[in-house]
Chains A and B, each alone.
Chain A
Amino acid sequence: EPEVTQTPSHQVTQMGQEVILRCVPISNHLYFYWYRQILGQKVEFLVSFYNNEISEKSEIFDDQFSVERPDGSNFTLKIRSTKLEDSAMYFCASRADSLNYGYTFGSGTRLTVV
């Protein structure tokens, strides 16, 4: 069964450093998403991406965040200057054109900012 692949599984970074979280969506999917889950809290929408541009972003997704699809297969989330409160699990997801099957999620990247 096709999978969404996320790397790394765990990233530890110093406060103020830049991090790039990587995702390889399912190949025939057209819509891509990043979600965040702070430990013990709900899963929060960050951004959606379609046709090589952001289609929607949440209030969390400020100027410190950016996304891109650099080569037609990878989908990356960059945090320019990490803060302690960015520590969370970050999930990438993709879906096909039809909403019927929902999203396929990656296994997540646990980001720890120290």
Chain B
Amino acid sequence: AQTVTQSQPEMSVQEAETVTLSCTYDTSESNYYLFWYKQPPSRQMILVIRQEAYKQQNATENRFSVNFQKAAKSFSLKISDSQLGDTAMYFCAPLLYNQGGKLIFGQGTELSVKP
């Protein structure tokens, strides 16, 4: 069974500071995609950033970046210059070919950005 582990149920950070959310996963595949989704209080699911497993370069999207360690099956999300609007639940989600392209979600990390 494929598993995704987000070991930090809750985190908080001061506005303008940097925070890192961790994620590990288990797969026997060599090629796949990894995503971070954000779920604000509205409960909409919003794509934050994606990473292709065959690319060694870590993805960056404005204030959001990832640290992808393929051998360790680790995919952490770094948020720089945190803003109040970053307050949300964050889900790590691998997308695997041999799972029919099915997204598998971690348990989520609830991030609070404090003024």
Q: Chain A residues in contact with chain B, CB under 8 A? A: 31, 33, 35, 37, 42-45, 48, 55-56, 89, 91, 93, 95, 99-105, 107-108, 110
Asked if B50 and A48 sit within 8 Å, CB to CB, the answer is no
Specify which of B43, B45, B102 is in contact with A45 (CB 8 Å cutoff): B102
Q: CA A102 – CA B51 in complex, angstroms? A: 10
A25 and B28 CA atoms in complex are apart in Å by 31
Q: CB-CB < 8 A to B45: which residues of A?
A: 43, 91, 93, 105, 108
Give the contact stretch, choosing among B15-23, B60-68, B77-85, B103-111. Answer: B103-111
**CA–CA, A73 to B91, complex, Å?**
29
Chain A hits for B101, CB < 8 A: 31, 48, 95, 99
On chain A, the residues within 8 Å of B32 by CB distance are 99
Q: Is the CB–CB distance between B100 and A89 below 8 Å? A: no
Q: How far is the CA of A98 from the CA of B37 in the complex (A)?
A: 18
The 6 closest A-B pairs by CB, nearest first: A105-B45, A43-B105, A102-B35, A42-B107, A107-B44, A56-B100
Q: Identify 6 new A-B residue pairs, CB closer than 8 A, beyond the known A102-B33, A104-B47.
A: A31-B101, A37-B43, A55-B100, A102-B93, A107-B44, A110-B43
Q: With an 8 A cutoff between CB atoms, is B52 at the interface?
A: yes
What is the size, in residues, of chain B's interface with A at 8 Å between Cβ atoms?
26
The chain A residue with its CB closest to the CB of B44 is: A107
Q: How far is the CB of A42 from chain B (nearest CB, A)?
A: 5
A99 to chain B: closest CB distance in Å? Answer: 5
Interface 0/1 of B47-78, CB less than 8 Å to A: 10010100000000000000000000000000
Separation of A109 and B88 alpha carbons in the complex (Å): 19
> Is B113 positioned at the interface, with any CB of A under 8 Å from its CB?
no
Determine the distance from Cα of A27 to Cα of B38 in the docked complex, in whole angstroms: 24
Contacts of A35 in B (CB 8 A): 103, 105
Enumerate chain A residues within 8 angstroms of B104, measured Cβ to Cβ.
45
Tell me whether B102 and A56 are in contact (CB under 8 A). Answer: yes
Give the docked Cα–Cα distance between A58 and B104 (Å): 12
